[in-house]
């Protein structure tokens, strides 16, 4: 799957879609979902929760293991993708469509990678 050029990426394998200056959607990359395997549970934050850069915002679980989803931004949870709670496999089927949370009041993170930089990073992880 091609890594979308319009998104930014964290080294902890989350993607960020900036919607405007103050809000963004956050999801898991294709690389992440492939590494995790079929997801069977998603634990999302509550609307209004604070997001702290580098801290877990929730977790995803496969049969094998649980993995934290690390917040790539500072901000507040404006919306969660409730469809994922009943169908975590949507993340496997469409990682760049299945966003986890929408954040507002965000502070940008200059360490986020471009698609090219992220692809190179994933390659170096192998």
Residues that bind another protein (CB under 8 A): 37-38, 40-41, 43, 59, 61-64, 66, 85
Give the whole-angstrom CA distance, residue 84 versus residue 9. 21
Nearest residue (CB) to another protein, 8 versus 13: 13
Q: Reduce the secondary structure of the chain to three states and give it as a string.
A: CCCCCCCEECCCCEEEEECCCCCEEEEECHHHHHHHCCEEEEECCCCCCEECCCCEEEEEEECCCEEEEECCCEEEEEEECCHHHHCCCHHHHCCCCCCCEEEEEEECCCCCECHHHHHHHHHHHC
Smallest Cα–Cα separation from 81: which of 62, 64, 96? Answer: 96
Smallest separation, CB 5 to another protein (Å): 29
Smallest separation, CB 101 to another protein (Å): 17
Smallest separation, CB 68 to another protein (Å): 10
Nearest residue (CB) to another protein, 59 versus 74: 59
Nearest residue (CB) to another protein, 43 versus 108: 43
Nearest residue (CB) to another protein, 41 versus 47: 41
């Amino acid at each position: 799957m091609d890594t979308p050029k319009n998104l930014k990426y964290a080294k902890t394998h989350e993607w960020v879609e900036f919607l405007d200056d103050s809000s963004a959607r956050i999801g898991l990359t294709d690389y992440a979902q492939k590494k995790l395997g079929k997801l069977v549970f998603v634990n999302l934050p509550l609307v209004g929760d604070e997001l702290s850069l580098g801290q877990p915002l929730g977790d995803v679980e496969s049969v094998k293991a649980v993995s934290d989803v690390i917040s790539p931004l500072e901000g507040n949870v404006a919306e969660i993708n409730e469809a994922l709670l009943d169908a975590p496999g949507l993340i496997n089927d469409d990682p760049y469509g299945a966003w986890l949370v929408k954040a507002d009041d965000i502070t940008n993170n200059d360490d986020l990678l471009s698609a090219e930089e992220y692809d190179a990073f994933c390659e170096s992880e192998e």
